Amino acid sequence: MKAVISVGGAVIADAVEHDDLELYVDAFQQLAEQVETLVIVTGAGPVKKYIRATRHFDVPEARKDMIGIAATRMQASSLAAALGANTRIPETLEEVAEMTHIHDIIVLGGLLPGQSTDGVAAECAEIIDADRLVIATTVDGVYSEDPQENADAERLASLTYREMLDLVRDQQAGAGGYALLDITAAKLIERSRIETVVLDGRDPDTLTAALDTDHGGTVVEG
């Protein structure tokens, strides 16, 4: 079995801030014992402030993207070191595929400008033919509406690929709608029909159960 986990940058940054990174290292190591290959993609999290700091200047969007990619790779380097995983952070999908023959755990950040963490993770899942993609975010699953805006929003236990894509399109079209997944990541997941689990990554115990059936998140399949 091969698995890819997309970990929001805010999740890792919060763990570092509260000196809880060891809990996540333990969770990832437990997951690695259950699979042949575990790929972990990290986001930028609060380090995005360095991108926002350029908003008053005439900085091209592509250059801002490169700052963001550097931020994700810094987070990836820290997590990889803690896990005793790859010492070099891959910069292309080809490098990710090659590393699967060398490492049991591979950690990386962004690859190309304009890609989200989830989009990179979906591409990694495609290229290594992963059995499961896990989106570890700050929400405990996929909701019918933004749960922060509507207390009656329903958490969905499961979705088909088409239902997920339609939901993401609807959310993207709505002003201020919460974007659990970006449209590119959703299309990649549907195209490859990758079994995907969306769960709350803020709880290491929930993350540990990501490859089981009692993870408490939302399953996207079929």
Per-residue model confidence (pLDDT) at position 65: 87
At 132, which CATH number? 3.40.1160.10
The C-alpha atoms of residue 72 and residue 46 are separated, in whole angstroms, by: 10
> DSSP letters along 174-211, please?
STT---SS-HHHHHHHHHHT--EEEEETT-HHHHHTTT
Determine phi and psi for 4, rounding to 5 degrees: -125, 135
83-90 long-range contacts, CB within 8 A, separation 24+: 83/25, 83/28, 83/29, 83/107
Residue 176 structural domain = 2-220
Provide the pLDDT for residue 17: 78
Q: What is the mean pLDDT of residues 6-16?
A: 84
Residue 109 and residue 41 in contact, taking contact as beta carbons nearer than 8 Å: yes
Q: Is the pLDDT of residue 196 over 60?
A: yes
How many angstroms separate the first and last alpha carbons of the chain? Answer: 19
Task: Please give the structure tokens belonging to residue 67.
Answer: 């700052």
Is 80 exceeded by the pLDDT of residue 74? yes
Element (H, E) at 171: helix 161-173
In this prediction, residue 179 carries a pLDDT of 58
Total domains present in the chain: 1
Q: Is the pLDDT score of 135 beyond 90? A: yes
pLDDT > 70 fraction of the chain, expressed in percent and rounded: 96
* pLDDT at residue 19, as a whole number: 84
Alpha-carbon distance 195 to 187, whole Å?
Answer: 13
87, 15 contact by CB (below 8 A): no
Task: Output the pLDDT for position 149.
Answer: 80
User: Mean pLDDT in the chain?
Assistant: 89
Which residues are within 8 A (CB) of 168 and not within 5 positions of it... i.e. 6 or more apart?
Answer: 179, 180, 181, 182, 183, 186
C-alpha span between 72 and 200 (Å, rounded): 20
pTM to 2 decimal places: 0.91
Residue 175 clears pLDDT 70, i.e. is over it: no
Compute how many other C-beta atoms are within 10 angstroms of the C-beta atom of residue 53. 11
Identify the pLDDT of residue 174: 46
Average confidence (pLDDT) over 112-116: 88
Alpha helical stretches, state H, 33-159: 49-52, 61-83, 93-99, 117-127
| Residue of 206, 209, 199, 205 lying closest to 156 (CA atoms) | 199
